[in-house]
Structure 1
Amino acid sequence: MKLPSLKPVVLRHVTTTFAAGSLLVLATAHAAGPVVIGSKIDTEGSVLGELVLQQLKNGGVDVKDRLQLGVTNIVRQALVSGEIDIYPEYTGNGAFFFDMTDSPVWQKADSAYEAVRDKDLEANQLVWLTPAPANNTWAISVRGDLARDNDLTSLEDLADYLQAGGKLKLAASAEFVESPQALPSFQEAYDFELSQDQLLVLSGGNTAATMRAAALQTDGVNAAMTYGTDGGLQALDLQVLDDNLGVQPVYQPAPVVRQSALEENPEIEALLAPLFEALDRDTLQRLNGDVAVNGLDPARVAADFLSTLDN
């Protein structure tokens, strides 16, 4: 992405009559400090944060670790205020940052990215870099055996399966079942309807509980409310059904950096672009699963993945 109006940081027209000491003072005054890297406190935040930290450090950028700083509003405020310089955020959260939850721009990847990129640059001098193709949005996932036996890969397939009399019971939170933006919007768009007997409503919004219910077939459950990149999906053999109609807002992870920090360290953009381009849905599920399910240290998971990008 070409950045608008970036000012060069290289000093020009320095005369040779300056004393060596004066040159040293001048260079020190303009030296960039370390790039302070933050991240959210959840599993995916820890993975993405470590990937950013290690990729920049490996690329020769001086970095400072402020990973797993807190929840979204805490990390976002730290970036806006200049406490940190960069962290991984989701494009769809622009709907909340800019009070645009009713706008259709968030339903498509390109328009969501462009909207939050343009607004954040104008309002806050924050630059959104290359996003990952992964989409960590609300999803309906089914057991792997059900998906394989019935060729279920999308919500259109699910609607056809239900229309033909297929059996389904979904574990979900009350919010997912009742919120107009969640299950009701899926049902309207794809023309199916689940009865109360086809729902297991769990308290809270923890997808670990809904995925576990599907994996164990609790009370006949064979489908679960999930997020697109949940770490337990592959380990529990659950298949995310593609939302081809774009019912849910798109939540692509992307690095967001203070414009001043990017001007001082322009190599950041080129270092992070190939990394985030490699983070498709299955890859991010696997990396999250290594931490959430296999108990590996996020730093190790990130280092192992980055080593594969170098080959």
Structure 2
Amino acid sequence: MRIRLMAVLAAAALAVTACGGGGGGGDAGTGGGGGEGSLSAIDLSGATFQVGSKEFTEQIVLGQIAVQALEATGADVGNLITITGSTNVRTALTAGELDMYWEYTGTGWTTHLRHEPQSAPKGDQELYDAVSAEDKGNGIAWLAPAPVDNTYAIATAQGRDAELGVRTLSEYAALVNRDPAQARMCAAAEFLTRDDGWPGLEKAYGFDLPDDGIAELELSLVPAEIASGQNCNFGEVTATDGAVAANNLVLLEDDQQFFVPYNAAMTVRQEVLDQHPQLAEVFNPIAAKLTTELLRGLNERVDVGGELPEEVAESFLRDNGFIG
């Protein structure tokens, strides 16, 4: 059986984050789009929105950015709702329990639209165009994509890659087939079940790591476990994980280009966007600022520096002139 280092959060549970809602943003929530900054020119006073996010750091930061941005326009937003698991947060959106949340194009293509990872259009814009066009039939609108690509990656400790002769995923696959004990993997529950995660990776690279070689734990704990080497030599991370550099990790090259792009975009129920087309004016300029390097830095401020997600979100909005 898979080793569970920590109980996985109940996937269907909705959790109201204690830091949601009133996290900064000057005159946020006072109505009429008052205050300073570019968002003050957009008036959504009288509108009410429910914003959601997934449960990991980047999503919570992005969710807080959305909450505070909407509050700066005078909208009534309330607390950010965090939901464990991509399928569950998407279900909340399509069921009308949420009005919007940030999603990734790769997740849209594989998890929500149920396409094989290898069938994804090549190129960030091409994948976004395909996902956004197909999802219109589901009543979901994708606003402008951010340049950030939060793609999956497999990491190991600096120096260990040379020691084990593993710098690419093809070399990792060879290690699994040669010495599975040295190829032990730490990963979160969702990655271990997604077609664009572990099952697809094993299939694409032609390896089959025994279940006792996989340690399942919360994603935030993976980088430190990789660095220690006590439970695993390798682990799942993402390209924007701020803990990668902090733990002196290196990413294995995806030399067969299995992982698809994961550009972030705000997904909104079409009926909500039809009622409030100004939402594009709110989020498209924000998305344009969200590069991979910037998100990595924001995540690091939370996961390594210990700042609160709503504080990091507020400073992003303020530093970029969205709020005063």
- TM-score band by shorter chain is 0.5 to 0.7
Distance 1:133 1:62 in 2: 27
What is the alpha-carbon root mean square deviation over aligned residues?
3.9
TM-superposed CA distance for 1:195, in Å, is 9.8
Which residue is 1:215 aligned to? 227
CA displacement, residues 66-112 of structure 1 (integer Å, 9 cap, x when unaligned): 41331233332232232322111122222222232366126642333
TM-superposed CA distance for 1:180, in Å, is 4.6
Distance 2:209 2:112 in 1: 35
The runs of 5 or more residues in structure 1 that have no matched partner are 1-30, 160-167
TM-superposed CA distance for 1:47, in Å, is 0.7
CA displacement, residues 109-160 of structure 1 (integer Å, 9 cap, x when unaligned): 2333222211221222x21012222233321224356789xxx99869999x
CA displacement, residues 7-66 of structure 1 (integer Å, 9 cap, x when unaligned): xxxxxxxxxxxxxxxxxxxxxxxx9632322222332221110011222323x1413134
Q: Work out whether 1:290 is the aligned partner of 2:301.
A: yes
Alignment of 1:1-311 (within 5 A): 33-58=47-72, 60-71=73-84, 72-94=86-108, 95-101=110-116, 104-105=119-120, 108-124=123-139, 126-144=140-158, 171-173=185-187, 175=192, 179-183=198-202, 185=204, 187=205, 201-218=213-230, 223-241=234-252, 243=254, 246-310=257-321
Determine helix, strand or coil for the equivalent of 2:236: strand
Distance 2:112 2:169 in 1: 29
* Structure-2 change in CA distance of 1:234 and 1:275 (3 Å): farther
Distance 1:246 1:61 in 2: 44
Distance 1:54 1:153 in 2: 41
Determine helix, strand or coil for the equivalent of 1:134: strand
Equivalent residue letter for 1:128? W
* Structure-2 change in CA distance of 1:289 and 1:257 (3 Å): same
- Asked whether the 8 Å contact 2:47–2:75 carries over to 1, the reply is yes
Equivalent residue letter for 1:42? F
- Asked whether the 8 Å contact 1:49–1:87 carries over to 2, the reply is yes
* Structure-2 change in CA distance of 1:289 and 1:68 (3 Å): farther
Question: Whose Rg is larger?
Answer: 1
Distance 1:54 1:100 in 2: 34
TM-superposed CA distance for 1:209, in Å, is 4.4
Which residue is 1:23 aligned to? none
Higher helix share: 1
Distance 1:158 1:282 in 2: 26
TM-score, length basis structure 1: 0.68
- Percent of residue pairs bearing the same amino acid type: 27
* Structure-2 change in CA distance of 1:228 and 1:70 (3 Å): same
- Asked whether the 8 Å contact 1:290–1:301 carries over to 2, the reply is yes
The runs of 5 or more residues in structure 2 that have no matched partner are 1-44, 174-181
* Structure-2 change in CA distance of 1:106 and 1:297 (3 Å): farther
Distance 2:248 2:290 in 1: 20
Determine helix, strand or coil for the equivalent of 1:131: strand
Determine helix, strand or coil for the equivalent of 1:64: coil
